[in-house]
Every structure is written in structure tokens, then in C-alpha cells.
Amino acid sequence: MCQLISSNYIATVVNDVAVACDLKEWSYLEESLDAKAQNYFGVLIPISLDGKINKENVSLKVMLKLAPTDDRYRVSGAVTAMFAREIFVYSKVFSKYQDLQKCLKSQYILPKCYYVCNDYCKEALAIQNMCENGYLPFIHSMFLEVDHLVVSLKSLAKFHALSFIMEIKETELFEEVKNICLPLSVTTNKRYIDILIDRLEKALLKFDNTTYVPLLRNFKENCSKYIEDVYSSSEKNCLCHGDIWKENILYKYEDSKPVSACIIDYQTARMSSPAFDVLYLIASSANSQLRQKHFASLIQVYHSTLLEFFKDANIDNVYNQRQLGKDLKVVGPACFIVANTALWLSSGLQQEGHVRSKKVLQTEHEIAIAGDNYKIIIKGILDDFISYGYMPELTN
């Protein structure tokens, strides 16, 4: 997706943000055009907003997230649904999460939400720019190191724990979450299921004449079933991120080591098995060598953090290790299917269609190298998942 956002439109949104924050005598500075970040379904613009509240000088570091204002980008309805979910999460769910964790020793890192607009073709979010608080993206390589995965899984566990706590203590809001953040299925997002199947077809071509063909063919033929199993066949479900990988996590460092993680981008937030988020993060953001060495300990890091958060909140353990282990097997096929699509995209191999790779491959040689790297990564995930018992047993 690529759509220019005019300066006049940005100024209008900033004015709305200033009014929502009760800022007087305000001015703002927009980062240079080159500094604007664009995700697949919107435009991110960092701004510095200065003004006065009750005659006190205030400086807000804000990240604007703007939806496409052109109807041509709304044909599928996906963008509209994504912004509706994210706005709901930031404005209602996270507001309640702030209350729920006020008395807790451990905290889930939540950016402040300054302003939301849910009007069609004018959807906008203004949230705290966490980069100004020392949280930075991981840009050093395609995959995370173990220290980054540890802090990521700890943060993810707290996010899931708050959903379980909300289910117990805020039942009305939790029912609203279930109605808005629907699980992924053919009914809720057939277009995305079709994309997953198309990418499995591409994987089949890459793995032609290999022992992986029967497994990949099984995934393609039963794609919707495996995706829907994540919710319908799991032991427990909660509000999950849905697209938790390194691109959607920021890190804070001390002495060059990650000490905290801030999860961002909740456009795909959905009701799901928490095991999907856990396994997807490890599959999409770690290489095979790291998984082979640390997989069991990473799962333990996640679950022990979950238990600590429950204990701190004075609630019973509602998701035990047996349930997590069972759910990891349930979500394994779907996790691979979605990771295959994401890794095809991040490898630079998706050069056509509505959502294209950010990395543009210029030559046949670059395409060939990207294809070989993709095959190595996918083979590693398949082999690892088979060794964990997370793949279906095929009958002849």
C-alpha cells in the first residue's frame, strides 16, 4: 500500500489531537518526510506537539497512525476492520488494563493514547511515541537473539494475563472484546484465508520434489480448518495480538542488553489461543539454531511470567502448563501457515498484489538468493515443529 498523506490533512489531525489534550498556544513539528514510517495498512508519522496545559509548558512526543483516506484502498474492508479493532484496543481495552494493573508490582508497558477518530476514511490514532522513552526497534538482523526473545515473551505473557484478569473482573468489557476482536476464520476474513492458501501454493512450488510436499499439500487442503482450530479446539482463549513478531516490538536497553519490551500494532488483535502468539513469535522471529537450543526454556519463561502476574493480581492460575502444552500442538499447523505467509512477505518475494514486500528485489540474482533463504527458514520451522510433535501425522 502506498498513499501520500497531505500536510494539510496532517495539520487537521494534529489540531484534533491538541483539542483532545486541552493544549493551548500549541505548535507542532513534523519529522522529515524520509523519517515517516509506513506499515502495510497505514502511515506512521512522528510529531512533537508543544503547548500549554493550565499555563504549564507541555511537550508531547506523539506517533500518528493514519488510515488511507482514499476509498480505493478500502475495497476489501480489511483496513476499516483493522483500524476499528486497534482503536477499540487502545481507547477502551488499554484504559481498563491501566486500571487493572495499578496495584501490581509488574507492569505491562502501555503507550498513552492521546486521541482516536473512528470516522470512515478519517481513522486516526495518536499514541505516545515510545522511541522517545528509549524503546527502539530491533534492526540488526532478520531474527532476534535469545535475550530479546526472553523480554518479548515476558511482555506477551503480561498482555495475555491482563486479558484473563479482564475476563474475571470486567465481564461486560470482555464480552465486548469477544464481539469486536473476532477469531480468525473463513467467516471473519475469507480474503486473508485465500492469501494464506496462495502462499502455501508458492511454498509447494519452492519445495517441489522434496519430502515436505505431502505436508504442505495437507496444509493447503485443510488451511481453514487449521486456522479455525486455533480458537475452536484450544483449551483456553484470550485477547491475543495476532501478529506478534520482531517488527511489532520495541526494546529498551541497559548496558546494550534488552531489559524491557513494548508491543505495538494491535490491528490484528483477536480472540485466540495464547499459545498461537507464543509459538508464532518464536517461529517468526528466531532462527532454527536458537529454537533448537532454547525452545523449552523460552516456553518456560512465558508460562512462569504468566503465573507470576496471576499471583500478583491475586487470581487463580487459569492457564496451566498442561493446557499450554496441549494448545501448542493444536496451533502448530496454523502457526506454520501464517508464518509461511509472513516470511514470504518479509523475504521480499511478494512483489505484486495489494500488500507487497517492503524489500524490493531488483535482479533475478537477488530473487534467487531471497528464494533460497526463504526455503532454508521454512525448512527449519517445519523440521523443528515436526520434532516438537506440532505437525499433523499424515496417513498414506
For residue 173, what is its C-alpha cell? 468489557
Report the pLDDT value the prediction gives residue 358, as an integer from 0 to 100. Answer: 66
* CATH number assigned to the domain covering 1-128: 3.30.200
Model confidence, pTM: 0.94
Report the pLDDT value the prediction gives residue 356, as an integer from 0 to 100. Answer: 65
Per-residue model confidence as pLDDT tens digits over 37-85: 445 567 889 999 999 999 899 999 999 999 887 766 666 678 889 999 9
pLDDT surpasses 80 at 386:
yes
Question: How far apart, in Å, do the first and last CA atoms of the chain sit?
Answer: 43
Give the model's confidence band at 242: pLDDT under 50 very low, under 70 low, under 90 confident, else very high. Answer: very high
Q: Do 305 and 154 meet the contact criterion of CB atoms below 8 Å apart?
A: yes
Q: Do 130 and 264 meet the contact criterion of CB atoms below 8 Å apart?
A: yes
pLDDT surpasses 50 at 268:
yes
Residue ranges per domain, the chain?
1-128, 131-396
Task: Indicate the SS3 state at residue 22.
Answer: coil
- Residue 114 — left, alpha, or beta (φ > 0 → left; ψ -120 to 50 → alpha)? alpha
Report the pLDDT value the prediction gives residue 367, as an integer from 0 to 100. Answer: 86
Report the pLDDT value the prediction gives residue 352, as an integer from 0 to 100. Answer: 67
CATH classification of 131-396 is 3.90.1200, yes or no? yes
Report the pLDDT value the prediction gives residue 76, as an integer from 0 to 100. Answer: 66
pLDDT above 90 as % of the chain: 80
Average pLDDT over residues 22-33: 85
Per-residue model confidence as pLDDT tens digits over 116-155: 999 988 999 999 999 989 999 998 889 999 999 999 999 9
**127 or 364, which is more confident:** 127
Query: Which residues lie below 8 Å from residue 60, measured CB to CB, with a gap of 6+?
Result: 21, 23, 48, 49, 50, 114, 128
Report the pLDDT value the prediction gives residue 393, as an integer from 0 to 100. Answer: 83
Average of per-residue pLDDT values in the chain: 92
Per-residue model confidence as pLDDT tens digits over 175-222: 999 999 999 999 999 999 999 999 999 999 999 999 999 999 999 999
Pairing of strands 113-117, 42-53: unpaired
Task: Specify the DSSP class assigned to residue 132.
Answer: G
Query: From the DSSP assignment, how many helices (H) and strands (E) are in the chain?
Result: 12, 11
Q: Do 352 and 210 meet the contact criterion of CB atoms below 8 Å apart?
A: no
pLDDT surpasses 80 at 21:
yes
Q: What angle do CA 369, 371, 373 make, to 5 degrees?
A: 70
pLDDT surpasses 80 at 349:
no
Q: Residue 274 to residues 105, 111, 312: CA-CA distances in angstroms?
A: 23, 22, 20
pLDDT surpasses 90 at 264:
yes
The secondary element (H helix, E strand) that includes residue 252 is strand 249-254
